[in-house]
Amino acid sequence: MTFRFVPYLFRVTRNSWKLKLSNRTYPDRPLVGVGGVIVHRGRALIVQRAAEPRRGEWTVPGGLVELGETLRSATEREVLEETGLVVKAGEVLDVFDSIYPDAEGRTEYHYVLVDFFCELISGELKPASDISDARWITIEELETVELIGFTAQVIRKGFGKIGNS
């Protein structure tokens, strides 16, 4: 059984506390997300998103940083939750914006994403409910898979860290 933390925002009003579920759509500020680039035995791990935004598209495993959590520990937690793999998050490979406007031009999604190079420690690849599929690809396959945004670029940086071995 997997439990997922749902972030909440607390707002103090004149005489009471109000609890508000943090919403990913139409946020009032950018949300911070992390990704784990895992290269093992000459192949990189990619996952297919099961939820919006970009449902059905391929990327690296990751998700939102929780309150009080470091970027590296968030990366390690998200990779474990999504894939069943235990990793050690190392150096930052890239930082970028991911902004999606709606049909009227309003910002529907806005993420600041930090992708880390991760060392595989242990585990067996088992996709969780927030991803519909996961697979290992070679550097040559990067050109044949439709990846989200800067995903191919950051995976190439990961391959560069290990010398394509």
Distance of alpha carbon 110 from alpha carbon 114, whole angstroms:
13
- pTM for this one? 0.82
Distance of alpha carbon 114 from alpha carbon 96, whole angstroms:
7
**Domain coordinates in residue numbering, the chain:** 26-162
Distance of alpha carbon 69 from alpha carbon 86, whole angstroms:
17
Q: Look up residue 160 and give its amino acid.
A: G
Q: Are 82 and 164 in contact (CB under 8 A)?
A: no
Please state whether the peptide bond connecting residue 53 to the residue before it is cis, i.e. omega within 30 degrees of 0: yes
User: Mean per-residue pLDDT for 22-42?
Assistant: 91
Query: CB burial class (10 A; 0-12, 13-18, 19+) of residue 43?
Result: middle
CATH superfamily, with its number, for domain 26-162: Nucleoside Triphosphate Pyrophosphohydrolase (3.90.79.10)
Residue whose pair of structure tokens reads 């600041």 in the numeric block: 112
Instruction: Read off the pLDDT of residues 68-114 as tens digits, 9 standing for 90 and up.
Output: 999 999 999 999 999 999 999 999 999 999 898 999 999 998 999 99
Taking all residues of the chain, what is their mean pLDDT, rounded to a whole number?
Answer: 86
Query: Above 60 in pLDDT, residue 53?
Result: yes
